[in-house]
Chains A and B, each alone.
Chain A
Amino acid sequence: MTHILIHILLVLLMPPLLLGVIGKTKAFFAGRVGAPYLQPYYDIWKLMRKGSVFSETTTWLFRAGPIVTLSVAVTASLLIPLGNHSAPFSFAGDMILFAYLFGLARFFTVAAALDTGSSFEGMGGAREATFSCLAEPTLFFALVVLARLSGSLSLSTMLTGSITTLWPDSAPSLILLAGSLFIILLAENCRVPFDDPNTHLELTMIHEVMVLDHSGPAFGYILYGAAMKLFVLGAFFLHIAFPFKAGDPFLDWGVFIIAMLLLAVVIGIVESIMARLRMVRIPQILVASTILAAFALVLVLR
């Protein structure tokens, strides 16, 4: 029970901190002081009290988009094990629900974007739908590999149980998986080199361009939901890339928090040292990551 409470508290409170750490890392690389670590919390709080501007083209769906996105992020966070602890919801096939919940969020984000009738937002929606089509198979390749390695059909046993013991024997396929999942982590969360959360040129954006017309509390929900998605997918990635367990249940939470912060630093470093890819390159990289994951599958099937 305590651990479920810690799980829920971490999921609700920690995500914006990751954005703060990424921002600080990027500022360090750029030689700036940067915004405080807690800036994303201030931003979300500020947005919650702001007024809203609505386009006269929009319908109820435009308002529903951010609500669904955030509810999905919260529900999905209950399915993912954190650190060495199983998730509150854990059952055979939960990974399918996990992946498809994000599909629901994506559908509503794209629909809300199309609801404005703006060509820019249509463009963003089209890109989001296109690139996630290519990212989805990678995630499922990874899930098959993990299911086969761990002999389990539930995220909690798949990820917390045996990964540490599997590393020595199955290192090649796990390295391939970690690589492809890192690509997916960056792409799904709209980070450089796939998308730039800071860009201000509508023509080149993916996620930010879809939410151009959202304002006030709704935009706050979107920011918060996006941070939570980064947190949840980051936790998934860490299980494979950073499978160290302390042994003590409470120490494990500490290890997990530190690992998450390190991950945020790594993402910040990637964002600082890499340029954004040209739009036509993105599908190629995504397909490449799928093939990496397929290699991992071949290695475990042989």
Chain B
Amino acid sequence: MNPATDGSLSTPLVMLGILLITLSGVPSLFTRKNAGFGQKLASLFVTAGAICGLIGAFSSIILNRSETFIIAWGLPFGPCEIALDPFSGLFLLPVFFISACCSIYGIGYWPAAEHAETTRKVTFFFGLTAASMAFLVMARNMVLFLVAWEVMALSAYFILAAEDHKKEVREAGFIYLAATHTGTLTLFAMFALLHHVTSSFLFPAAASIDAATPLSAAILIAALIGFGMKAGLMPLHVWLPSAHANAPSHISAIMSGVLIKMGIYGIIRVVSFFSHPPLWCGVLILAAGMTTAVLGVTFAMGQKDMKRLLAYSSIDNIGIIAMGVGVAVIGQATGSSTLAMLGMAGALLHVLNHAIFKPLLFLNSGSVIHATGTRNIEAMGGLARAMPATSILFLTGTIAICGLPPLNGFVGEYLVYLALFSGAKDGGGSSAAFMALAVPSLALTGGLALACFAKLYGTAFLGLPRSTDAEHPHEPGGTMLAPIRVLAFLALLIGLFPLLAVKLLHYPLLSWSPDLAQSGLTLSTLAPVTWITMAGVTLAVVALILYVCYSRQLKSTSRQTTTTWGCGYVRPSARMQYTGSSFTETLVHLFKGVLRPRGKEPELKGYFPATREYASNIPDLVLDLIIIPVSRGIDFGFSFVRKLQHGEYHLYILYIFVTMVALLIWAH
């Protein structure tokens, strides 16, 4: 590698980290007899690589270092340029950190002894996925970027479809492959157009392309579709729920926490190429974000499968991030640096926050699934008694993801709200109206998220066990709990001391947009987050005082234990509890226009009706009700083409020959 600028240790450290993580799974390929050893070695490699990478990324972010390196390669796609700037560094943080957490968690969750068939595959491709994501955010050459993108997409396929002996896993994997390739195809088109504009395979410098041409519009739209597919913007989210639900939990955690954010990275990066991005682009991203947030959480609310619920909630959070990006772009388009800074800060902080609390929830759900053997929350209940540590950690994630103070989720949403409010307050014209409308839709998202997660937590952890599976669960082991504890601590740290995160965002924001550097604004003055610390501390102190009072009162007064009040009925049973579905029944009914719940009420006759069964589910609007029926139609309509595919090789070769001859004739 030749440093193009005077080098420091940041980039070499990150590259060393990437190398270690790439190779982490290789030893396990050769330890067939002792896969457990290979798995532990891989975790060690990933952790060591992550530490190197985090040091490199942090030094770039805090010291504002931007470095470019060029690797010598002989391919005709221009110089192979990689670069580390604070903006890329910010995305490296979750990549490295969450990879290490998930890798350590995987030792206990996916032990080689129980998953002899898949451990080596999962270990190897896990390293490849993580490393390719880190490489992706550093690539500055379009071809290099696409290579990293494809390595990421394909190796993610192998880990998410680890249990490919199960039909639903294969189906989820297939949908994922189809979606990711559609996305990549769009990205090919996008980069081809970009190459047409800049006549170079290198990424153009920030704010260097005129955005007013039709070609630029096409590039922006293609980027939104291609990257939006990965991020899970509605209605491009189709692969996300089933892939997250069917992957092993530590894989779901890294996919939801990090992988889908690569789509967000791509959108922000491509938009940053344009000087003064058009207003419509910002409004489009904002509108897509609003739709994604509200619909994502609405669908999450209707789910019974714990991981499917979390997956839909990832879509909702991507929507919130997109709202921040949308406001930032509107800010750039209308020349308001305040909007640009607040919006982008909200988006970036929510990227970090979601990368903390979503893996926290997915890893915890892994522990729950490990303990109960089911993903169906309606079969759970009362887990808080048997799994006290998990229940508190899960609660932390739940409060964080609902965006409630004093945890980190609130701070990100606070910045997005602040951006929207500023836009609605000072802006004029249609953009102000959009931002004003985005405020209540974000509020609606927050309210629905609360209902959704109160349902999830209440049904799974509180009350009484609803089935025999949930009666004797057990707390997970230390290697599984440790990474979750660290994540929960971070959620609390950022929630109580948001200034730390706000300071961290300073240089990434400036490196994202040169205009912001000139405006002289600082985020900590725009968003006075020390007040959040004040309020958080007040809340904690008041709660502590009340806790002490209450404990004293409990000691000094009499205390009885009895059954739950059931209106005089003294033999309540676990089956009488409110279920998760009944908890959200009214809301599902209110949103039945989009949710389209399936399930027919059974007919009951007479005073002693015979046993009846009732099942309900909520199909995915886009996948189950549009894409699959339409694909079936296409499949049926074009079934005659299948005659060409008969399995006789000599004829296949003939096809090639005929095509070539035809092309030759056409060329003349």
Interface string of A90-113 (1 = CB under 8 A from B): 011110110111011011001100
Interface size on A (CB < 8 Å)? 84
A136 with B451: CB separation less than 8 A: no
Interface-located stretch among B20-28, B160-168, B359-367, B558-566 = B558-566
B557 with A144: CB separation less than 8 A: no
**Nearest CB to that of B441 among chain A residues?**
A137
Within 8 A of A (CB), among B456-504: 457-459, 462-464
Please pick, from B421, B422, B425, B454, the residue contacting A107 in the complex, using a CB distance under 8 A. Answer: B454
How many whole Å from B369's CB to the nearest CB in chain A?
21
How many whole Å from A292's CB to the nearest CB in chain B?
13
A55 with B565: CB separation less than 8 A: yes
How many whole Å from B4's CB to the nearest CB in chain A?
42
Interface string of B382-425 (1 = CB under 8 A from A): 10110000010001001100111100001001100110011011
How many whole Å from A213's CB to the nearest CB in chain B?
5
Given contacts A100-B410, A122-B583, contact A221 B578 (CB under 8 A): no
B531 with A94: CB separation less than 8 A: yes
How many whole Å from B495's CB to the nearest CB in chain A?
11
- Does B198 sit at the interface, judged by CB under 8 A? no
**Interchain CA distance A101-B384 in the complex, whole Å:** 24
A120 with B566: CB separation less than 8 A: yes
**Interchain CA distance A110-B553 in the complex, whole Å:** 24
A111 with B405: CB separation less than 8 A: no
Please pick, from A93, A115, A144, the residue contacting B462 in the complex, using a CB distance under 8 A. Answer: A115
A61 with B462: CB separation less than 8 A: yes
Q: Which of B395, B557, B565, B572 has the most CB of A within 10 A?
A: B565
- Does A246 sit at the interface, judged by CB under 8 A? no
Interface string of A45-73 (1 = CB under 8 A from B): 00011111111111101010011101110
- Does B535 sit at the interface, judged by CB under 8 A? yes
B528 with A91: CB separation less than 8 A: yes
- Does A234 sit at the interface, judged by CB under 8 A? no
**Nearest CB to that of A131 among chain B residues?**
B586
B424 with A144: CB separation less than 8 A: yes
A93 with B550: CB separation less than 8 A: no
Interface string of A146-176 (1 = CB under 8 A from B): 0110011100000000000000000000000
B458 with A110: CB separation less than 8 A: yes
**Interchain CA distance A20-B444 in the complex, whole Å:** 34
How many whole Å from B386's CB to the nearest CB in chain A?
11
**Nearest CB to that of A63 among chain B residues?**
B550
Chain B contact residues: over half helix, strand or loop, or mixed? Answer: helix
A92 with B528: CB separation less than 8 A: yes
Name the B residues within 8 Å of A56 (CB-CB): 561-564
B454 with A115: CB separation less than 8 A: no
Name the A residues within 8 Å of B560 (CB-CB): 51-54
A96 with B440: CB separation less than 8 A: no
**Nearest CB to that of B558 among chain A residues?**
A51
Name the B residues within 8 Å of A61 (CB-CB): 384, 395, 462
Please pick, from B426, B444, B462, B561, the residue contacting A114 in the complex, using a CB distance under 8 A. Answer: B462
How many whole Å from A205's CB to the nearest CB in chain B?
12
**Interchain CA distance A140-B547 in the complex, whole Å:** 32
Name the B residues within 8 Å of A294 (CB-CB): 440
Given contacts A133-B587, A212-B565, A283-B586, contact A104 B535 (CB under 8 A): no
**Interchain CA distance A97-B422 in the complex, whole Å:** 16
**Interchain CA distance A140-B413 in the complex, whole Å:** 14
A114 with B557: CB separation less than 8 A: no
Q: Which of A54, A57, A70, A141 has the most CB of B within 10 A?
A: A57
Q: Which of B432, B443, B566, B576 has the most CB of A within 10 A?
A: B443
**Interchain CA distance A213-B563 in the complex, whole Å:** 10
**Nearest CB to that of A59 among chain B residues?**
B384
Q: Which of A99, A122, A143 has the most CB of B within 10 A?
A: A122
- Does A132 sit at the interface, judged by CB under 8 A? yes
Name the A residues within 8 Å of B563 (CB-CB): 55-57
How many whole Å from A46's CB to the nearest CB in chain B?
12
B559 with A54: CB separation less than 8 A: yes
Name the B residues within 8 Å of A51 (CB-CB): 557-560
A111 with B457: CB separation less than 8 A: yes
- Does B8 sit at the interface, judged by CB under 8 A? no
B444 with A217: CB separation less than 8 A: no
A119 with B546: CB separation less than 8 A: no
Name the A residues within 8 Å of B436 (CB-CB): 144, 148, 297, 301
- Does A260 sit at the interface, judged by CB under 8 A? no
Given contacts A119-B576, A141-B440, A217-B554, contact A134 B564 (CB under 8 A): no
Name the B residues within 8 Å of A101 (CB-CB): 405, 535, 539
**Interchain CA distance A55-B186 in the complex, whole Å:** 58
Name the B residues within 8 Å of A126 (CB-CB): 578, 582-586
Please pick, from A49, A123, A221, the residue contacting B557 in the complex, using a CB distance under 8 A. Answer: A49
- Does B659 sit at the interface, judged by CB under 8 A? no
Interface-located stretch among A34-42, A74-82, A267-275 = A74-82
B543 with A68: CB separation less than 8 A: yes
- Does B446 sit at the interface, judged by CB under 8 A? yes
- Does B590 sit at the interface, judged by CB under 8 A? yes
Name the A residues within 8 Å of B547 (CB-CB): 67
**Interchain CA distance A119-B274 in the complex, whole Å:** 57
- Does B31 sit at the interface, judged by CB under 8 A? no
Name the A residues within 8 Å of B564 (CB-CB): 55-58, 116-118, 121, 213
B531 with A114: CB separation less than 8 A: no
Within 8 A of A (CB), among B198-255: none
**Interchain CA distance A212-B531 in the complex, whole Å:** 36
Name the A residues within 8 Å of B414 (CB-CB): 93, 96-97
- Does B7 sit at the interface, judged by CB under 8 A? no
Name the A residues within 8 Å of B439 (CB-CB): 140-141, 143-144
- Does A127 sit at the interface, judged by CB under 8 A? yes
Given contacts A50-B557, A53-B560, A57-B464, contact A136 B446 (CB under 8 A): yes
**Interchain CA distance A51-B572 in the complex, whole Å:** 24
Name the A residues within 8 Å of B539 (CB-CB): 71-72, 75, 101
Name the B residues within 8 Å of A151 (CB-CB): 425-426
Please pick, from B426, B463, B558, the residue contacting A57 in the complex, using a CB distance under 8 A. Answer: B463
- Does A89 sit at the interface, judged by CB under 8 A? yes
- Does A25 sit at the interface, judged by CB under 8 A? no
How many whole Å from A241's CB to the nearest CB in chain B?
21
How many whole Å from B101's CB to the nearest CB in chain A?
26
Name the A residues within 8 Å of B577 (CB-CB): 117-119, 122
Name the A residues within 8 Å of B557 (CB-CB): 49-52, 216-217
A93 with B562: CB separation less than 8 A: no
Please pick, from B422, B424, B454, the residue contacting A110 in the complex, using a CB distance under 8 A. Answer: B454
**Interchain CA distance A140-B417 in the complex, whole Å:** 10
Given contacts A116-B564, A301-B436, contact A129 B528 (CB under 8 A): no
- Does B34 sit at the interface, judged by CB under 8 A? no
Name the A residues within 8 Å of B553 (CB-CB): 48-49, 216-217
**Nearest CB to that of A94 among chain B residues?**
B531
How many whole Å from B212's CB to the nearest CB in chain A?
27
Name the B residues within 8 Å of A132 (CB-CB): 447, 450
- Does A202 sit at the interface, judged by CB under 8 A? yes
**Interchain CA distance A136-B404 in the complex, whole Å:** 14
- Does B542 sit at the interface, judged by CB under 8 A? yes
- Does B448 sit at the interface, judged by CB under 8 A? yes
**Interchain CA distance A103-B531 in the complex, whole Å:** 18
User: Nearest 7 CB-CB pairs, A to B?
Assistant: A122-B578, A114-B458, A51-B558, A117-B463, A133-B447, A137-B440, A129-B451
Could you show 12 A-B contacts with beta carbons less than 8 Å apart? Answer: A54-B561, A59-B385, A67-B547, A71-B542, A74-B538, A104-B404, A111-B458, A126-B582, A126-B583, A129-B455, A133-B447, A153-B418
Known: A111-B454, A133-B451. 8 other contacts (CB 8 A): A57-B563, A59-B385, A71-B543, A91-B531, A110-B454, A115-B462, A117-B564, A217-B557
Q: Taking beta carbons and an 8 Å cutoff, which residues of B are in contact with A? A: 381-382, 384-385, 391, 395, 398-399, 402-405, 410, 413-414, 417-418, 421-422, 424-426, 432-433, 436, 439-444, 446-448, 450-451, 453-455, 457-459, 462-464, 526-528, 531-532, 534-535, 538-539, 542-543, 546-547, 549-550, 553-554, 557-567, 572, 574, 576-578, 582-587, 590
